[in-house]
Chain A
Amino acid sequence: MSFTPLNQAKDKYDVIVIGSGLGGLTCANRLARAGHDVLLLEYHFKLGGLATWFKRKSHVFDVSLHGFPYGMVKTCKKYWTKEIRDSIVQLKDIVFDNPQFSLKTTFEKTNFSDILVKRFKIARSVVDTFFETVNSMNFYDDLAMTTRELFEQFFPGRTDVHRFLMEPITYANGSTFDEPAITYGIVFSNFMNKGVYTFKGGTDKLIGMMGDELQRNGVTICTTAKVDRVITEKGKVTGVAVGERIIHAPCVVSNSGITNTIYNLAGRDAFPAEFLGRIDKVKVNNSSCQVYFGLRPGETIPDIGDLLFTSTAAEFSSEEMLKMDTRSRTFSVYYPKTRPDGKEDYTVVASMNGNYDDWAHLSAAEYAKAKEEMIERCFVDLERYIPAIREKCDWVEAATPRTFNRYTLHTKGTSFGTKFEGLDVSRNLFKALPGLFHVGSVGIIMSGWLGAINYGVIVANDADAYLRS
Chain B
Amino acid sequence: MTRDDIKDLILDIIADIDEDAEFAGLDSDKPLRDQLDLDSMDFLDIVMELRKRHKLQIPEEEYPELATLNSCVNYLEPKLKDQ
Contacts and interface: CB of A to CB of B under 8 A. Distances in A.
Interface of A: 30, 34-35, 75, 78, 454, 457-458, 460-461, 464-465, 468-469
A149 B52 CA distance: 45
A34 B52 contact: yes
A79 to B, nearest CB: 9
A25 to B, nearest CB: 17
B44 A468 contact: no
Contact of A465 (B17, B41, B45, B51): B51
B46 to A, nearest CB: 10
B41 A468 contact: no
Given A34-B48, A34-B52, A457 B41 contact: yes
Interface residues of B, number: 10
B28 interface: no
15 contacts: A34-B48, A34-B52, A78-B17, A78-B45, A458-B41, A460-B48, A461-B48, A464-B48, A464-B51, A465-B51, A465-B57, A468-B52, A468-B55, A468-B57, A469-B57
A458 B41 CA distance: 8
A372 to B, nearest CB: 45
Contact of B41 (A35, A75, A464): A75
Interface string B24-59: 000000000000000001001101100110010100
Contacts of A75: 41
Given A458-B41, A461-B47, A464-B51, 19 more contacts: A30-B48, A34-B48, A34-B52, A35-B52, A75-B41, A78-B17, A78-B41, A78-B45, A454-B41, A457-B44, A457-B45, A458-B44, A460-B48, A461-B44, A464-B48, A465-B51, A468-B51, A468-B55, A468-B57
A466 B6 CA distance: 25
B33 to A, nearest CB: 13
A30 B51 CA distance: 14
Nearest to A138: B40
Contacts of A468: 51-52, 55, 57
Contacts of B17: 78
B18 to A, nearest CB: 8
Contacts of A464: 48, 51-52
A458 B48 CA distance: 10
Nearest to A75: B41
A460 B48 CA distance: 9
A270 B68 CA distance: 42
A454 B45 CA distance: 11
A251 to B, nearest CB: 15
